[in-house]
Structures are given as structure tokens and as C-alpha cells.
Chains A and B, each alone.
Chain A
Amino acid sequence: SQQGEEDPQALSIQEGENATMNCSYKTSINNLQWYRQNSGRGLVHLILIRSNEREKHSGRLRVTLDTSKKSSSLLITASRAADTASYFCATAAGGGADGLTFGKGTHLIIQP
């Protein structure tokens, strides 16, 4: 079963605006990661936040994690047309070797 669930499933905004995507998960985690997938391509890692962290920044990306609510959010500031892609959250279970469990993704469209 899916561990992470992204919300919304699709998001369309104007270039320059901020985009926020949310992810909820069900069980305890070691860390939560966000990936981007451009159409027809593989996934690319964006950022990782560990379970003992609450916020992390990387360039125009800001990720928050609330383990009490089992949720995370990804904020992309000052969006660009090149940010158009699908975004997935993925969770790594504590102590497990069974890889990452992905959500279904949010498809982000940046209107020029």
C-alpha cells in the first residue's frame, strides 16, 4: 500500500508564484524525500529531511516535516516554467532495507 499521499494531485499556477505540495504518510519513518520527474524521464532527488528535523531549505525549495501529524510540505518559491513536472514524496522506514515508498505524486504545471 502507498505510504505517502500527495495533495493536490494536480496544481496549475502562474510563473513567479509559489507552489505548495503536501504529503501525508502512515507509519514511522527514518526520513522523507522529495523527487521530481519530468515527462518521460526518471526521478531526480530534490531534498531529504530526517525525522528529527522540522524544516530544510535548498535553493528555492523549502521542506517541512511534522512527525506528529505524519505530514510534509514542499514549497517551491518563485516558480519557473522549468519547474513543470510531477513531484513525489517518498518515505524510508526506520531500520528497514526495503527502499523507499512513494506517493502517487502531484503534477505541477507552471503557466508562462
Chain B
Amino acid sequence: DAGITQSPRHKVTETGTPVTLRCHQTENHRYMYWYRQDPGHGLRLIHYSYGVKDTDKGEVSDGYSVSRSKTEDFLLTLESATSSQTSVYFCAISDDRGGTEAFFGQGTRLTVV
């Protein structure tokens, strides 16, 4: 497996609380992505980063923010979790802007109750 680690792997949180998911890579890849996976929707892009402090929104960015202060870490924050954000979240890395393969983490299963 590529050196990409997501933490935590599982989390249950209450509606309205802030939640931060972490993605850590040891591959020194420039591009990092956060996706969510829901039944019937496949994977949808939330936010992505193309360098330290360089981030942009994806298809389903509302309610989420990200930060990348170091090449190896990409954080996804749910400012005030809602039940609609119950999902499995995947981090991915690549060394090209979609021109090469992406490597995925094992996922974080988040449940908002």
C-alpha cells in the first residue's frame, strides 16, 4: 500500500459538533483529495489541494473546510456536523493533476447521530 494513513478510522459524533479527519502521506505527492462515498452516489470530491496552503473546492464542499500546512498532512473539518454528513470519507494522493493513478487511504467511517 502507498504510504497514506487516515485517522481516525471510525468515529461517532453528535450533531452540531466539530469534527476533524486527518490524512497523512509519506509519498511526498503534491496533490491530495478528500472524497465521500455514499450508497447510490459513488465517490464525490469534497476538496482538494495542489500544494501547501493551496486548496480548492470540489463538487460537494458545503459544510466542509480543509487545511494543508505541510506537504504530508491534509485535514478535513466538518465545522458543525449534520446527519447528512454521515458517510465514508476517503483521502487520495497523486503526483499529477489526474494524469496518473491516485492512491487511496483505507477510509474513515463517520456517523453523525
Contacts and interface: CB of A to CB of B under 8 A. Distances in A.
B35 to A, nearest CB: 8
A102 interface: yes
Interface in A88-107: 88, 90, 92-93, 96-105
Interface in A27-68: 30-31, 33, 35, 40-45, 48
A99 B106 contact: no
Contact of B31 (A2, A99, A102): A99
Contacts of A35: 104
A3 B60 CA distance: 14
Given A41-B106, A42-B105, A99-B33, A48 B100 contact: yes
Contacts of A40: 107
Given A96-B98, A97-B98, A2 B42 contact: yes
Contact of B99 (A92, A98, A105): A92
A102 B43 CA distance: 6
Contact-size category for A: 20 to 34
**Secondary structure class of chain A's binding surface, majority of residues:** strand
A27 to B, nearest CB: 13
B104 A43 contact: yes
B106 A100 contact: no
Interface core residue of B41, B43, B44, B100 (most chain A CB under 10 Å): B43
Interface of B: 31, 33, 35, 40-45, 48, 50, 56, 58-59, 90, 92, 94, 97-107
Interface of A: 1-2, 30-31, 33, 35, 40-45, 48, 88, 90, 92-93, 96-105
